[in-house]
A and B are shown apart, each in its own frame.
Chain A
Amino acid sequence: MTAADTGALHADMLVEFDYTRSLGPVLSEFMTGLAERRVLGGRLADGRVAVPPPEYDPETFTPVTDLVPVAATGEVLTWSWVSEPLPGQPLQRPFAYALVRLDGADTPMLHAVDVASPDDIRTGLRVRVRWAEETQGRITDIVSFEPADGSEEPPAPRAAEDERHAITVTPVRLEYDYAASPEESVFGRGLKEGRILAQACPVCHKVYVPPRGACPVDGVPTSEPKELPDTGIVTTFCIVNVPFLGQKIQPPYVSAYVLLDGADIAFLHLILGCDAHDVRMGMRVKAVWKPEDERTYSLENISHFEPTGEPDADFESYRRHL
């Protein structure tokens, strides 16, 4: 997170998941072939052999059912040079992406060709598959292609696998630079100081916390500063008993809408300091702040809200906030 005094607050945001992909009949056979160091193509309706085999014909949309073996050697039809490989790309040193037509196939496949410089690759170059040490039934079982002079022995296929590969796992990891809006940034800096800097819409004068880039009713930024106390009520809530991937708070916990005194909108926060089952609609609560040296620019600076022990608010007083 940035510590600048003005401008948008930034934070790294990671979106990461290992997707499990069921392959269906055609790709399952193709991937099982790769695990056995064999490449299969699919015969299209017009008789051409396509690699990888599509599950449905690109012209007639009918299922492709006839899979045929093709060679692990072929020819570069076109290429482009990657001087600075991106994370996840097949090689982490300069390489070429190429469309390679394998011998026995009619259409090319996209993959990497491992050569040292653009001078070492040309259209028409003969290449062969470089297999992974451990094959797993994934497209990356082909690590890359490499130049072939025709004298090499074709790699020995592995023994047939006991099991078909019906699932492949694809890790997706994306890194984002997340930025807050100017209004949220003001709010975040306030939180660092232990203050709640809300803003009102200049048109409808409703007080928004956090403040907003656009008042959702009037479509203009909430621009009128309005500092709020850190006390309020629980309007409604639920008790989260369910654990899930990526969860940051240990269940069970109370996720509640807290309506601060003077605010016109509630926000979600955590209620602690009493048994979850003692939390009530209308209960008076007060923010419990993290120590100053642990504070960032996030609403997490408020560790949680806890009951003040004051009498509950009358239902009619917050009914319109539900």
Chain B
Amino acid sequence: MSKQLAAVIGVGQTHYRAKREDVSMPGLLREAIDRALADAGVTFDDIDAVVVGKAPDLFEGVMMPELFLAESIGAAGKPMMRVHTAGSVGGSTAIVAASLVQSGVHQRVLTVAYEKQSESNAMWALSVPVPFTMPVHAGAGGYFAPHVRSYIRRSGAPTEVGAIVAAKDRQNALKNPYAHLKNEGTTVESVLASQMLWDPVRYDETCPSSDGACAMVIASEDAVERAGIANPAWIHGQVMRSEPLTYAERDQVNPRAGRDAAAYLWKQTGITDPLREVDCAEVYVPFSWFEPMWMENLGFAEEGAGWKLTESGTTALDGDLPVNMSGGVLSSNPIGASGMIRFAEAALQVMGEAGEHQVDGAARALGHAYGGGSQFFAMWLVGSEKPG
């Protein structure tokens, strides 16, 4: 048997903020879910199953919170799953939800990913000292900054490339009503002048810590047609790849799992020249330097040349391959949801519903997420037309 077609028919997001003290966890999720259901023109009665994603349970101090959330998210009485694949989880969750439809098991699936980071402290949750090890860990920034240094050394990229990315994404965020950071006047110069946090990564080159949720309704071809949805985002291809956190001579700058995943995705979707054939991309960039790194990893540029796409303005909103039109992870980062936001923003682009940050005529868009120590990758390619 072959895979059934599936499409995103509704997207909902919360406003992302450092602290969403106005809502509980159930309320936060419902804000995104209710918007996604309304966008899809369906109600909970139409939903066959719910797939929940979030990053570590230590963030909110609730073990498997989907259990206590079951009725708040409309899952009670239905199949419910909880995915956790570190930072890539939002993307992996969307893929699991899609597979419920592509397998022919269900017609309409609700998927939601969230993080309410203000319940605790992400740095703490990610740096609880493990006995017998050296306590030099300093959150995600401390983990990734050395690899950014390696990238700069390996590629010979000019220092300001990271700042170009940060300034671009913060400007893009001004066009996204849901974005957390609304830093008008962010420029390459202001980014370069910001404090060095994890040298070589500056304050303005890092993602914020946000509360937020993102939800999507994914439907079968039949359900799309019966509902008369005019502009679904068809899922053309999807992939997940994982490799160990560390192993001898592992390439941590251009990880093989990411390269393999991208190659598989392009092959699956018949794409031979991604830079030309993909119209825009939402790529998981929590530290600005990861834009050029992932451009190479995804095959949009040769190894060592990703920074040229950034420097030349190719990845700008008006460039040939706009990247992170929404402002990206650099502007909103509810960790567990960040991957799903990438996937959902890609869908919004091909649905033509991205509002002020819409890329004109976007027909094929990439959603990308990664997690752990650059070791878990999830990607999908969505299109305005059915694949094939």
Contacts and interface: CB of A to CB of B under 8 A. Distances in A.
A298 B132 contact: yes
Contact of A244 (B44, B124, B196, B200): B124
Interface stretch (B98-106, B137-145, B183-191, B354-362): B137-145
The binding surface of chain A is classed by DSSP as mixed
26 contacts: A1-B131, A9-B131, A13-B130, A17-B61, A19-B61, A20-B120, A24-B26, A26-B24, A27-B24, A54-B71, A56-B71, A178-B130, A216-B247, A217-B244, A236-B147, A238-B198, A242-B141, A242-B198, A245-B121, A246-B124, A248-B135, A255-B137, A257-B146, A281-B150, A302-B134, A322-B154
Given A17-B121, A239-B199, A297 B132 contact: yes
A249 to B, nearest CB: 7
Given A244-B138, A244-B139, A319-B154, A19 B119 contact: yes
Contacts of A215: 247
A188 B76 CA distance: 48
B118 interface: yes
A6 interface: no
Interface string B346-364: 0000000000000000000
Nearest to A279: B199
Nearest to A9: B132
B72 A170 contact: no
A244 B123 contact: yes
A56 B26 contact: yes
Contacts of B248: 204, 206-208, 217, 264-265
Contact-residue size bin, chain B (C-beta under 8 Å from the other chain): 35 or more
B26 A55 contact: yes
Interface string A164-186: 00110010100000101000100
A12 B132 CA distance: 11
Contacts of B130: 13, 178
Interface size class of A (residues with CB under 8 A): 35 or more
B146 A255 contact: yes
A40 interface: no
Nearest to B30: A56
Contacts of B121: 17, 244-245
A15 interface: yes
Contacts of A242: 138-139, 141-142, 197-198
Interface string A285-308: 000000000000111101000000
A195 interface: no
B273 interface: no
A110 interface: no
B278 to A, nearest CB: 28
A11 interface: yes
B236 interface: no
A240 B200 CA distance: 9
Contacts of B44: 61
Nearest to A303: B134
A22 B21 contact: yes
Contacts of A58: 71, 76
A321 B61 CA distance: 36
Q: Which of A256, A300, A320 has most chain B Cβ within 10 Å?
A: A300
Contacts of A257: 146
Interface string A138-172: 00000000000000000000000000001100101
B55 to A, nearest CB: 15
A270 interface: yes
Among A240, A270, A322, the one with the most B-chain Cβ atoms within 10 Å of its Cβ is A322
Given A55-B26, A322-B252, A270 B134 contact: yes
Interface of A: 1, 9, 11-13, 15, 17, 19-27, 54-59, 61, 63, 166-167, 170, 172, 178, 180, 184, 188, 204, 206-208, 215-217, 235-242, 244-249, 251, 253, 255-257, 264-265, 267-270, 276, 281, 297-300, 302, 315, 319-322
Given A56-B72, A244-B123, A281 B153 contact: yes
B17 to A, nearest CB: 11
B193 interface: no
A236 B246 contact: no
Contacts of A239: 196, 198-199
B71 A300 contact: no
A178 B195 CA distance: 37
Contacts of A320: 249, 251
A310 B207 CA distance: 38
B320 to A, nearest CB: 30
Contacts of A11: 131-132
A10 B374 CA distance: 30
Contacts of A208: 248
Given A57-B71, A242-B141, A322-B147, A217 B133 contact: no
Given A216-B246, A255-B142, A300-B135, A55 B24 contact: yes
B248 to A, nearest CB: 4
Sorted nearest first, the 6 A-B pairs with minimum C-beta distance are A24-B24, A238-B145, A216-B244, A11-B131, A239-B199, A206-B248
A300 B251 CA distance: 27
Instruction: Name the residue in B116, B125, B146, B198 with the highest tally of chain A Cβ atoms < 10 Å from its Cβ.
Output: B146
B74 to A, nearest CB: 5
Nearest to B119: A19
Contacts of A9: 131-132
Contact of A24 (B23, B127, B253): B23
Nearest to B145: A238
Nearest to A204: B248
Q: Which among B133, B248, B252 has the highest number of chain A CB atoms within 10 Å?
A: B248
Nearest to A216: B244
A61 B123 contact: no
Contacts of A253: 136
A271 to B, nearest CB: 10
Interface in B243-294: 244-253
B21 A166 contact: yes
Given A61-B74, A61-B76, 7 more contacts: A19-B120, A56-B72, A57-B71, A166-B21, A241-B197, A246-B123, A270-B136
Interface in B218-254: 244-253
